[in-house]
A and B are shown apart, each in its own frame.
Chain A
């Protein structure tokens, strides 16, 4: 399905990451946005609120983030493409119903414009310290898909990609951006609608009475059932069987949760998106995501000039973690370096996959500003020894 031209502001614009993200969602046909104001994410909600009345959709400012996340799940089951945005404190509140979205296998998109934490932290300054919360923030076992844009252009593109992934894998998708990308203004080129490919929701082709909401068959995701068409289906956040009926025993738990985990783990090659440069023959390989992947460029250029064989991987998807690729690279490189605005989150996944085959380094800090390239350079020098 192509994007609806009515929704697409084709042309070159000068937008910040948050506005671009909202435009991406609108291009993707998002018709329902429920959110609660929180710095530094609010511009996404504001842009959506301004644009949506003439595009047959609804923006609603809910009473809190608990309600926002619940509402986008309800809207998605009603048939609307839906999304919300937030930052750290709101992300904590949304974890409850994010888990419901995982359990009900509900397509929707949630954007976290990360700021410094913990608690109220640094409302106006960047952080990348919610990455493990994105992975494990709601209780129980499950897998997530998280994308990290590094620019307004990518904020636009990944918003569309997130909606497509949400339909493909029938689950909420996270966009883990940050204050820096959210408030950075750059050129954003929005393509013509006919160049934007959208994945339509897969509904059952069975008749009412014959279809169930979670028909896991190991062959792609179970199609959804539409409301209002006589299917009279039931879904629950309790552990359930393919019928959506609660079944409280270990066997049902095994089947239900295995599906939630396997739908990501069995499709990592399709989901994982890495941008690699100069990996062949590199002694030192840098890894980063979001704004940190841009901040490390001056340090990499300087190291290169000095003859250090250095490659880099920008992780467009952070979750699922590219385990296989990092294992391979750890066999070839002398050192792997993770640059992120926290004291070690995604780094530990990299270290775990390196499994002692090469040295690993973290360039981390508490957030509040991006890295000083000098600090990144120092770690590269150390790693290249």
Chain B
């Protein structure tokens, strides 16, 4: 720790965090462990928002519970930290009230896919105009490293001490088969490609999904004796194989083996609100005013 006295006033005047317009600086330092992959993913989202030059007043982040669930608390946007697994339905209600805003759900694999799995498939099925960024660290980290529906076969966790024997979900396959219009997977070290994917996901109308394979340095790495978080981050990156456009069925993840990354789905499909308006237009004809949120028709 640096204990050298510094002139704090002049330092404050000189030093600015490069993302300070997108972070709640009054809440930094954050709670994440060093070398956790969530930080780089937040950086990628911040970079994506900057590069897209979106009106940040019109972007909202909704999270569930868990390590990644804390993202909403650090982003300087209208941001909502909801209940475990329910970020998507909360975000859905918010999106329907304010379709003029961009709604981003940023949460973890346990939150979105285990307890929130039903909401995940149904929000994708409806093709609601929501972008989901899912940090997948293969484990429940906040609660101390328990097995998740994403834990690879044979990986150890606090509740699979002899190795996991349940088949994990393949998240791109789940998203694609549920109806997502955009599906990509990158690792937390693919900063540039991940940023591009998030940009594409945000601009894609409909349900877009970006999975980010991230190390959990404190639990997953330690329980499985995989070295430091940085070692694991590098391992994921170096063992990834870019295969754009493949059938997501080929994107299963095994324990400490190759990770298929890339953009798997990028299609056009009417969004939930387009379907709602088309359906009601058919039913009511000219009597129907297209729904445009609480602020009226846009």
Contact = CB atoms under 8 A, between A and B. Distances in A.
Interface string A144-168: 0000000000000000000000000
Interface string A163-194: 00000000000000000000000000000000
Interface string B62-103: 100000000011001111111101101111111111101100
Interface in B93-118: 93-98, 100-101, 118
A246 B69 CA distance: 13
Contacts of A68: 89
Contact of A78 (B77, B82, B98, B287): B98
A56 B296 contact: yes
A230 B96 CA distance: 19
B57 A74 contact: no
Given A53-B288, A75-B93, A64 B118 contact: yes
A99 B82 CA distance: 11
B20 to A, nearest CB: 13
Nearest to B126: A60
Nearest to A73: B90
B98 A228 contact: yes
Interface string A238-250: 1000000110000
A73 B283 CA distance: 29
B52 interface: no
Interface residues of A, number: 45
B93 A73 contact: yes
Contacts of B296: 56
A78 B99 CA distance: 9
Interface in A75-92: 75-80, 82
B89 A66 contact: yes
A96 interface: yes
Nearest to B287: A54
Nearest to B94: A74
Contacts of A71: 89-90, 92-93, 96
A100 interface: yes
Query: Which of A80, A228, A238 gathers most chain B CB within 10 Å?
Result: A228
A245 B62 CA distance: 15
Contacts of B94: 74-75, 77-78, 227
B89 A70 contact: yes
A96 B116 CA distance: 13
B-side interface size class: 35 or more
B72 A63 contact: no
B108 to A, nearest CB: 16
Given A62-B89, A66-B89, A71-B90, A100 B82 contact: yes
B89 A31 contact: no
B86 A238 contact: no
A338 B295 CA distance: 47
B289 interface: yes
B92 A96 contact: no
A237 interface: yes
A85 B193 CA distance: 45
Contacts of A234: 24, 72-73, 79-81
B241 interface: no
Contact of B83 (A31, A62, A70, A78): A70
A32 interface: yes
Interface string A288-325: 00000000000000000000000000000000000000
B80 A78 contact: no
A60 B96 contact: yes
A78 B92 CA distance: 10
Contacts of A97: 82-83, 86, 90
A215 B294 CA distance: 25
A53 B284 contact: yes
A145 B125 CA distance: 36
B122 interface: yes
11 contacts: A53-B288, A53-B291, A56-B289, A58-B276, A63-B118, A66-B118, A67-B119, A70-B86, A71-B89, A74-B94, A76-B97
Q: Which 4 A-B pairs have the closest CB atoms?
A: A78-B97, A74-B93, A71-B93, A75-B93
Given A31-B294, A234-B81, A238-B81, 9 more contacts: A34-B93, A53-B283, A62-B122, A76-B97, A96-B86, A233-B79, A234-B72, A236-B73, A245-B27
